Structure 1
Amino acid sequence: MDETTYVCDCCGEEIVITIDISAGRDQDYVEDCPVCCNPMHISLHLDDEGNPDADCRAEQDRF
């Protein structure tokens, strides 16, 4: 499985996430940071070559 990383807006830790390619090229979901447990909104896009681009921000900052 492919992986990418993001830096948590709340605790500043670099987090590795596994990419589920079967979920499609554009993915949008909420996942708790495994370090500080704050919910993170993750928007993931896979380009034509399958390279990931992840935009992650704290769920409470989304609105």
Structure 2
Amino acid sequence: MEEHFFQCPYCWEQISMLLDNSIPNQTYVEDCEVCCNPIEITPVFLNKELQSVTANSIEQ
């Protein structure tokens, strides 16, 4: 697992999430620890090193 910091697309607060570097491409939803809104997280790993992360709001 790797901790990554980014800005919540809803409340704009700096938050962190643990990302699983054992899966190269993944997409999942996790709630913001500040505002509790759902965020779609898409990390991409290459040889267990983080290449990119997108964090998008989920329109309700």
State if a TM-score over 0.5 links the two structures.
yes
Superposition pairs for residues 1-63 of structure 1, below 5 Å? Answer: 1-22=1-22, 24-48=23-47, 50-60=49-59
Q: CA RMSD in A?
A: 1.8
User: Are 2:21 and 2:48, in contact at CA under 8 Å, matched by a contact in 1?
Assistant: no
Q: How does the TM-score come out when normalised to structure 2?
A: 0.83
Percent sequence identity over matched residues? 33
Which structure features the higher share of helix residues?
A: 1
Q: Unaligned regions of 5+ residues in structure 2, if any? A: none
Q: Unaligned regions of 5+ residues in structure 1, if any? A: none
Q: How does the TM-score come out when normalised to structure 1?
A: 0.80
